[in-house]
Chain A
Amino acid sequence: MTYLSIRDLSVRLKGGPSLLRRVSLDVEPGEVRGLVGESGAGKSMIGKAVLGILPPSVEITGGQILLDGTDLLTLPPKDRRRRIGASCALIPQDPLTALNPSHRIGPQITDRLVDILGWTRADAEARAKALLAEVQIPDPDRVLRAYPHELSGGMRQRILIASAFAAEPKLIVADEPTTALDVTVQKQILKLIAGMQARHGTALLFVTHDLGVVSKVCQYLSVLYAGMVVEDATVVDFFAAPRHAYSAALLAATPKYTDPAAGLNPVPDAVIDAVRAEVAAFDRGSA
């Protein structure tokens, strides 16, 4: 049964333009769905809508977000928060800003377990230690007592990953989790996330603008343009034969790991014009 199901979700800037246009996508338990598109396409917006952290300047104008069959948007705010906190988690983009500088690492991993899920402090600390070992952090005891500024970026991202998996969530949203890291650390982190996801059987919504990463990590993907899903396919099908002209052009524009010398093919203007026309037609139709 589908774990996360987004149906016709529309979001707009308050009193302004649409940011998401009737987005629909599903994530089955334990599967990984990639969310790709150029910067500003609305990828993060989808993740934020699911996790209930949309900025106050935007509003949801329609659609449903079904989590395990319950529409989050109809729940009272407090229930929604608790439900998301207990069953979902976020791996953020920038590890340097995502840890609170004035708290030690330990409480930042265990707080949800203790406060929201009602674990005892001892249980939560044991769990945190085990998780740090799982994300390959040496000397977990020291790290749990450290402040964020004492740790490197890669280390902090490992901690955030550990923290995301702490409560054994059913769904994790990873929002470009490697974009802010050094190239050398990126691969380790990607591998770590993929490994953890496979071991824990967590459903993963993986936001990225890198089709190369999608091919390695995901089983399904949604291609987004201007807040509109233009293609929804399995990764195997997509890389064999993309159906939409825009995603085909996107694929052609991605450097090949097998053949880096092939060079880049920028998305042709004609394709952009066509997809823009599609968006315009959509806006007219829904207005």
Chain B
Amino acid sequence: MLDAKGMDGRSLIRRRAGLRLWLSAGWLTLLCLAALFAPWIAPKDPLAQDLFLGRMPPFWMAGSEPGYWLGTDSLGRDVLSRIIHGARVALTVALVAGVITCLIGATLGLLAGFLRGWVDMVISRLIDIWMAFPPVLFSILLIAVLGPGLISIIIAIVVIDWTRFARVVRAEAMAQGAMDYVASARVAGRGRIGIMLREILPNVLPTICVLLTLEMGIAVIVEAILSFVNLSISTDDPTWGGMISEGRTAIHQAWWVLVFPLITLFLTVLSFSQLGEGLKDRFDPVLR
């Protein structure tokens, strides 16, 4: 029975939150499809150079070349095709690095938060040490050590970002561990590992899912940053960060080399994050 006046601006926004969730999911699905079917969708070969077609503007501008919808970079490679193929790297990193980071970080956090004692001591100290590293510098350092490549990027992300999960899951597990239902499970004679997996884990799972979604967005950014400083995979292979890096240097001559990958990256990161926030709202009984 709420009339239009009783519905304030915030609840209108809240209603639109559902829309944002759908838009984010839609964009990510589109991206997944593009990545899966890249060789068939991409109009050109992303590696094919043609020095006669360097820095062609996108299709609506004068001097554009038919077939190169979003223009070409300085080596005459098709921007659109490179973006589509770049989605493969970005999403692989997001998925693989995200899941592994999640598994390792959440496990450590769960152990620290539930077992307490010296386990917690060690893990907490490790988290403190990790938090004292500037993350971007740390990842660059790791890539320098491991050598460039997809696997190196994934390892670097896992090594750096496990604390994100560990910190939150540890706190959550501690809070859950103090609840009555855990005490009664203990009285019922369940073992510690049993309690941890059967009682605590299901209760922190929603939080872990939210963190995982957010982590995927972060992984995409880290990959882009590493490509940007030319430390990702080989510089020929199409990555969004590599394209942005090249576009940054030619920004006054060929803005489209920077703008289109940037928009793609921006939307992707925003979508992961909005999806995470949306899930948080869904799971959080207070906000609902």
Contact = CB atoms under 8 A, between A and B. Distances in A.
Interface string B6-34: 10000000000000000000000000000
Interface string A6-18: 0000000011000
A15 B3 CA distance: 7
Nearest to B1: A15
Chain A contact surface mostly: loop
B2 interface: yes
Interface of A: 14-15
Contacts of A15: 1-3, 6
Nearest to B2: A15
Nearest to A14: B6
A78 B3 CA distance: 28
Contacts of A14: 5-6
Contacts of B5: 14
Which 6 residue pairs spanning A and B have beta carbons closest together? A15-B6, A14-B6, A15-B2, A15-B1, A15-B3, A14-B5
Nearest to A15: B6
Nearest to B6: A15
Contacts of B1: 15
Interface of B: 1-3, 5-6
B12 to A, nearest CB: 16
A14 B11 CA distance: 15
A283 B3 CA distance: 21
Nearest to B7: A15
A14 B7 CA distance: 10
Contacts of B3: 15
Contacts of B6: 14-15
A15 B11 CA distance: 15
6 contacts: A14-B5, A14-B6, A15-B1, A15-B2, A15-B3, A15-B6
B254 to A, nearest CB: 54
A15 B1 CA distance: 7
Contacts of B2: 15
B240 to A, nearest CB: 47
Nearest to A13: B6
A199 to B, nearest CB: 47
A10 B244 CA distance: 64
A54 to B, nearest CB: 16
A6 B144 CA distance: 79
A241 to B, nearest CB: 44
Nearest to A56: B8
A75 B6 CA distance: 24
A15 B5 CA distance: 9
A15 B2 CA distance: 6
A274 B283 CA distance: 46
A15 to B, nearest CB: 4
A14 B6 CA distance: 7
B43 to A, nearest CB: 56
A160 B56 CA distance: 76
A65 B1 CA distance: 29
A14 B1 CA distance: 10
Nearest to A16: B1
A14 B8 CA distance: 12
A15 B6 CA distance: 7
A14 B3 CA distance: 9
B10 to A, nearest CB: 12
A60 to B, nearest CB: 14
A14 B2 CA distance: 9
A157 to B, nearest CB: 34
A36 to B, nearest CB: 32
A287 to B, nearest CB: 14
Nearest to A57: B6
B96 to A, nearest CB: 49
A15 B7 CA distance: 10
A118 to B, nearest CB: 37
B268 to A, nearest CB: 40
A84 B1 CA distance: 34
A279 B163 CA distance: 60
